[in-house]
Amino acid sequence: MSTNTEQVTIEEKPAEEKPVAKPVAKPVAKPVAKPVELPAFEKNISDKIVEKFGDKIVVSFVKVNRVGINVDKENVHDVAKFIRDELNYDHVESVSGVDYPQDKEIEVVYHIGSYSDPSLASQLIVLATRAEREENPIPGKDATKLPTLRDIFYSVEFHEREVFEMFGVYFTGHPDNRRLLLPEDWADLPPLRKDFAIKGR
């Protein structure tokens, strides 16, 4: 199995590399939309969401074909439901986790698109939410938890399983919170976290 060699490298890793890895990451400023000629169609979409949720959300960017929304985990379920029911978005293309150790947070970014509405075919809503991050994770048992969007967008099923194993973010309410890609006997940190370092790098 190809994973055998990787596994060996990992086990010695965290102890020596941990202090080095932390200062690498840099502070994050949540950008706010600038008033310089935003594309009209995308602005219209973000306005609809702002109108509904007000200061519960932050519009992080409005670019051509992309609208970025930041929302905290208490409201992410409601915002996603609104995006599906009122704005005609119907599937999730990608779910990526991004680890920010300096903020003690892990961000999960959903890219939501639409097949059924031809006018939205090139549009994506980039919905980002953040979960608490623990230094010594026990995946599935610690405070790193988010509500699942699987009951709203069925298509996130495997994507959320991947984020769970790679970042240790447990999705509450997901019917099938199991490992997907990693070996069954993996007993190390979730590998895509920043403090899991590759040996020799």
Partner 1 sequence: MTNEFLPPGLALQKADERIMTLNVGPQHPGSGHMRIIVQIDGDYIVACDPDPGYVHRGEEKMAEYRNYITNIPHLERPVIHDSCNVLYPYVLGVEDLLGIEVPERAKYVRVICSELNRCIYTMYWLAIYGIFLGHSTMFMWPAGDRELLIDLMEKISGARVTHAHFVPGGVRNDLPPNFEEVCLRQVNYFEKRIREYAAVFYDNPILISRTQDTGVLSREDAIRLGVTGSVLRASGVDYDLRKKEPYDVYEELDVHSNVMKEGDSYARSKIPWLDMLESCNIIKQALEKMPKSGSVRVKLKPNPKGKGLNSVYKRVESGRGSLGCHIVSDGKVEPYRLKLSVGSFRNLIALPYLLKGEKLGNMPSVYWSLNYWPVEADR
Q: Reduced to 3 states, what is the DSSP secondary structure of residue 104?
A: coil
Give the nearer residue to partner 1 in terms of CB position, either 52 or 98.
98
> Judged by CB under 8 A, does residue 198 bind partner 1?
yes
3-state secondary structure 3-39: HHHHHHHHHHHHHHHHHHHHHHCCCCCCCCCCCCCCC
Give the nearer residue to partner 1 in terms of CB position, either 113 or 147.
113
Least distance between partner 1 and beta carbon 145 (Å): 15
CA angle 137, 139, 142 (to 5 degrees): 65
Distance CA 168, CA 38 (A): 37
Please report where in the chains the tokens 């996603």 appear, as a residue.
80
Give the nearer residue to partner 1 in terms of CB position, either 1 or 15.
1
Beta bridge partners of 147: 172
Reference 157, options 122, 98, 110, 105; nearest CA is: 110
Q: Please give the residues from 26 up to 85 whose contact with partner 1 meets the rule CB under 8 A.
A: 26, 28-29, 31, 65-66
- Choose which of 140, 142, 145, 151 interacts with partner 1 (CB under 8 A): 140
Bridging pattern class, strands 124-132 and 66-71: parallel
Q: Which stretch binds partner 1 (CB under 8 A): 39-47, 72-80, 129-137, 178-186?
A: 178-186
> Judged by CB under 8 A, does residue 183 bind partner 1?
yes
What are the residues binding partner 1 (CB under 8 A)? 1-3, 6, 25-26, 28-29, 31, 65-66, 90-94, 96, 98-99, 109, 111, 115-116, 121-122, 124, 126, 140, 153-155, 157-159, 162, 177-187, 191-192, 196, 198, 201
